[in-house]
Chains A and B, each alone.
Chain A
């Protein structure tokens, strides 16, 4: 497993907060419950050892707003 990146479809995200609970190393919640990438990127990098929890987060999101994409740009 290599590093991946997490893509948030902001038009679908409703700030339900499950992803923030499942990926506390990568995401925090803003004032309104929407996820904030802790690394400051638009698509936070998911290191190899967190790909499992990230997949769970993608699976759990009730709005289907998350996607796990391939290798990060840099």
Chain B
């Protein structure tokens, strides 16, 4: 039974209620942050914080959803540990990381310091887009002046590419090399930045960590489901009234998630969940947005991106456009990806045209298989998965296209 030793209790500091835990905190300057959340708690490196994180059931918010306490424990066993906060946010449809950094940078930076302390790290870095650098540097300067941070944080700029946020690309960039995925013989937790054991965490995960350290695992579990506790930041876009970044508990009904963004702008056909590396789900209102709820459609919440597709837009055409983008975003290092993804994009584009060949669908499946598991990173795998998900979700469209019709056109 773990109880967080809250050395920061002061009047006025209450645990955030409701679902807007990160976005409801709204404290971009240090003084407001201090008033709202209290001082940075101390846990030492004896594994106590990792225990709290384990009890809270915090999982990574960068897309993979890996249990955070396991990542921390793996790395804590090493020497000269490095911690990197990842805010590269390569996914163009995602805006949560830069929103979080603008809105509550100190929560993220608190989480970074806490994680570093828990794994006895010697070096701390933050890796983010150029647009967010100024704000974060200002926040770091405030913390430095107030002697808030225990370890200095080195700021690195991430290039505006899709793969720049991939774990080995992050390690390469922070080590001073090109931000592209690398061949992995050993895990990053063993050999990472400049050969040292490295912990790479998404900035949202760190922000949640900052709150768990202050308010404990029981509080964290008040939102979300038993298996998937806590809230997550969702970037809701596409055919919705107010596209933007919203906070929601895991397990939220799909309709409620869309409602956060002002509801559908038009009748919906499907929703792309998990972003460009995610999967299509039907616009079923009661569908829970959680790993368990989406598993039936081969999708996961990923990094919280939800793109709504209306009935008047052709899903095949939209998917072809996305796969075309993903193909162009290949790092250009691995043959199957460099060659296979453009071919996959062309084939999907051909399927999106009227009176297409029935063999095209088979070819999409074949290409998706060919590119899977044969590259330095999972970019081709996930792109292939999106292509397959497209065929399943829009099977009706494929049939219509074969005879020269389009389901979407008819719905107008």
Contact = CB atoms under 8 A, between A and B. Distances in A.
Number of chain B interface residues as a range: 10 to 19
A67 B373 CA distance: 17
A7 B376 contact: no
Chain A interface helix/strand/loop/mixed: loop
Contacts of B336: 10, 30, 32, 34
Contacts of A40: 373
Nearest to B367: A31
Interface string B312-344: 000000000000000000000111110110010
A32 B252 CA distance: 45
Interface of B: 181-183, 185, 333-337, 339-340, 343, 370, 373-376
Contact of A10 (B185, B343, B370, B375): B375
A36 B374 CA distance: 8
A42 interface: yes
A71 to B, nearest CB: 15
A13 interface: yes
Given A30-B370, A42-B373, A14 B185 contact: no
Interface string A30-65: 111110110011100000000000000000000000
A36 B370 contact: yes
Given A30-B336, A31-B343, 15 more contacts: A8-B374, A9-B183, A10-B334, A10-B375, A10-B376, A30-B340, A30-B374, A31-B340, A34-B339, A34-B374, A36-B370, A36-B374, A37-B373, A40-B373, A67-B185
Give the 6 A-B residue pairs with the shortest CB-CB distance, closest first. Answer: A10-B334, A11-B333, A9-B183, A34-B335, A32-B339, A42-B373
A67 B336 CA distance: 19
A28 to B, nearest CB: 11
Contact of A11 (B339, B343, B376): B376
11 contacts: A10-B374, A10-B375, A11-B333, A12-B183, A30-B340, A30-B374, A31-B370, A32-B336, A36-B370, A42-B374, A69-B185
A13 B376 CA distance: 10
Contacts of B183: 9-12
Contact of B335 (A10, A37, A67): A10
A37 B372 CA distance: 11
A58 to B, nearest CB: 14
Contacts of B343: 31
B373 A11 contact: no
A62 B373 CA distance: 22
Contacts of A69: 185
A30 B343 CA distance: 13
A32 B370 CA distance: 11
Nearest to B182: A11
Nearest to A33: B335
B249 to A, nearest CB: 35
Contacts of B340: 30-32
